Amino acid sequence: MTKILDDLLYLGASDYSEHKFERIYQIEEGMAYNSYLLLDDKTVLFDTCDKSVGEHFLEALKEGLGKRKLDYIVVHHMEPDHSYELGEVIKLYPEAKILITAQGANILKEYLLEDYKERIINPCSSYRLNTGHHLFSFIPAPLVHWPEVMFSYDEKTCTLFSADAFGTFGGNKAGLFSNEITLDDHFVSEMRRYYSNIVGKFGPNVVNVLKKASALKIDRILALHGPIWVDKLDKIIALYTKWATYEPEQKDCMIVCGSVYGHTLTAAKKLQQVLAEKGVKASFFDATETEASYLVSEAFRVKTIVICSITYATNIFPPIENFLTDLSHLGLTKRTYAIMENGSWAPQAGSKIKDVLASFKDSCVLQPVLTVRGAFDEKNQMGSLEAFGDNIVNSLK
Ligand SMILES: Cc1cc2nc3c(=O)[nH]c(=O)nc-3n(C[C@H](O)[C@H](O)[C@H](O)COP(=O)(O)O)c2cc1C
Ligand SMILES: [Fe+2]
Ligand SMILES: [Fe+2]
């Protein structure tokens, strides 16, 4: 069993059988469900795990404890990907006290159909758990991303237990500790995809808890998914700060296109080429072929979003409409939008998209909308496309 500290064991595991997280987000390289066991003078279990790795977890817990009893269970998050085995653990270790927020205790009752009132401790801000060589305090982190979430902090080892925050998609095959992995573009983009889709809506709450955490000396972050962060802490905290405040990560541009017969795709590709000639490397997504979570993640990364949509039965093409709905639900702000519409007889996608974007805070829409009717008319429309491209380039300055 992997040791994180002399008296702190890793009990989690990675699942590679499920291909979607929360039934909607594609996972390409598995998913890690982390859990931790402290074997100090007192024993403490920090969270359980998902159903998919439940058996492994229970075995690891029994082996880790050996003949010792379990004194405390800390529940940072009641979502079943971390609490699936909680009911079993509560029954197996009847002496264990349960540290959980008041809101968490309510949710626990909803799932376990028992309140375990006499075993529950709601740690208030002055509450400290002294286990012998460790001293824990508890930090509420409401709506990061459920209401009952809390972090905990051990002041003796400067360890922050951060619930889902700083988690990512992907199993821990490449390395359990962050110093075994490279924070390359792919890793960061999977972290962003996890953050933006799952926590993205709750930026202000993330900002609040980051502010509280900034007062602490942190040497290691133990999240419920992804690697154990023992280095690169400044980098991941800086990324989280950007994402939580909806600041574009880079002054880049993405093109999202929705087309049935390919004419809008051709025009959008032409735009990508025009932008490249002007020195802007825009990423390109066919909304009919890309899972929404990747579009959302890229929207959190870039500054300018070019939306290309056909008019579809007088409306926005549904995959593009879905993308806009996602951005609206997540409360994405501080972006610039450019619109290319197509319509064979009465183009309306552009004005409908503008209507949707009107409710996006601190965002602006470049003028004019570029209208394509059926096929892109290279002979007569190249000038308009060039001007459209110049507007986009200027928005990135
Ligand atoms: C099912 C369907 C409904 C459409 N509805 C409209 C419409 O209401 N108004 C319009 O001007 N064009 C409409 N169009 C035409 C498209 O907006 C677009 O001009 C055409 O699909 C060509 O672009 P594409 O090759 O990128 O798909 C419709 C096309 C399809 C396939
Ligand atoms: Fe969660
Ligand atoms: Fe989770």
Ligand 1 centroid to 297 CA: how many Å?
28
Indicate if ligand 1 lies below 6 Å from the C-beta of 343. Answer: yes
> Minimum-distance ligand to the CA of 32?
3
Q: Which DSSP letter does residue 229 get? A: B
Task: Tell which atom from ligand 1 comes closest to the C-alpha of 259.
Answer: 26
Indicate if ligand 1 lies below 6 Å from the C-beta of 310. Answer: yes
Ligand 2 centroid to 58 CA: how many Å?
20
Number of H helices, E strands in the chain: 12, 23
CA quadruple 113, 44, 13, 3: dihedral, nearest 10: 180
Indicate if ligand 1 lies below 6 Å from the C-beta of 351. Answer: no
**CA distance linking residue 236 with residue 223, whole number of Å:** 12
Q: Could you identify the residue written with the tokens 């795709």?
A: 265
C-alpha 133: how far from its chain's center? 34
Ligand 3 centroid to 21 CA: how many Å?
9
Q: Report pLDDT for 51.
A: 97
Indicate if ligand 1 lies below 6 Å from the C-beta of 314. Answer: yes
Ligand 2 centroid to 42 CA: how many Å?
27
Indicate if ligand 1 lies below 6 Å from the C-beta of 215. Answer: no
Indicate if ligand 1 lies below 6 Å from the C-beta of 130. Answer: no
Which amino acid, one-letter code, is at 336? T
- What are the start-end ranges of the E strands in 287-380? 304-312, 315-316, 336-342, 364-365, 370-372
**CA distance linking residue 249 with residue 215, whole number of Å:** 24
Q: Report pLDDT for 82.
A: 98
Indicate if ligand 1 lies below 6 Å from the C-beta of 311. Answer: yes
Q: Is 47 helix (H, G, I), strand (E, B) or coil?
A: coil
Q: Report pLDDT for 217.
A: 98
> Minimum-distance ligand to the CA of 198?
2
Nearest CA to 304 out of 344, 357, 350, 259 is that of: 357
Mutational pocket test of ligand 1: of 270, 308, 342, 376, the residue with most ligand atoms within 8 Å of the beta carbon: 342
Which DSSP string do the residues of 272-309 spell out, in sequence order?
A: HHHHHHTT---EEEETTTS-HHHHHHHHHH-SEEEEEE
* In contact, 32 and 171? CB cutoff 8 Å: yes
Mutational pocket test of ligand 1: of 312, 353, 376, the residue with most ligand atoms within 8 Å of the beta carbon: 312
Q: pTM value?
A: 0.96
**CA distance linking residue 85 with residue 50, whole number of Å:** 7
Ligand 3 centroid to 282 CA: how many Å?
32
Ligand 3 centroid to 166 CA: how many Å?
10
Q: Could you identify the residue written with the tokens 């049935």?
A: 260
C-alpha separations of 322 from 32, 318, 343, 379 in Å = 29, 6, 19, 33
Before 80, cis peptide (omega within 30)? Answer: no
Indicate if ligand 1 lies below 6 Å from the C-beta of 259. Answer: yes
Q: Report pLDDT for 228.
A: 98
- From first to last of its 397 residues, the chain has per-residue pLDDT tens of 899 999 999 999 999 999 999 999 999 899 999 999 999 999 999 999 999 999 999 999 999 999 999 999 999 999 999 999 999 999 999 999 999 999 999 999 999 999 999 999 999 899 999 999 999 999 999 999 999 999 999 999 999 999 999 999 999 998 999 999 999 999 999 999 999 999 999 999 999 999 999 999 999 999 999 999 999 999 999 999 999 999 999 999 999 999 999 999 999 999 999 999 999 999 999 999 999 999 999 999 999 999 999 999 999 999 999 999 999 999 999 999 999 999 999 999 999 999 999 999 999 999 999 999 999 999 999 999 999 999 999 999 9
Ligand 3 centroid to 81 CA: how many Å?
6
Before 145, cis peptide (omega within 30)? Answer: yes
Helix H or strand E segment including 98: strand 97-99
Q: Report pLDDT for 144.
A: 96
- Beta partners for residue 253, in sequence order: 304
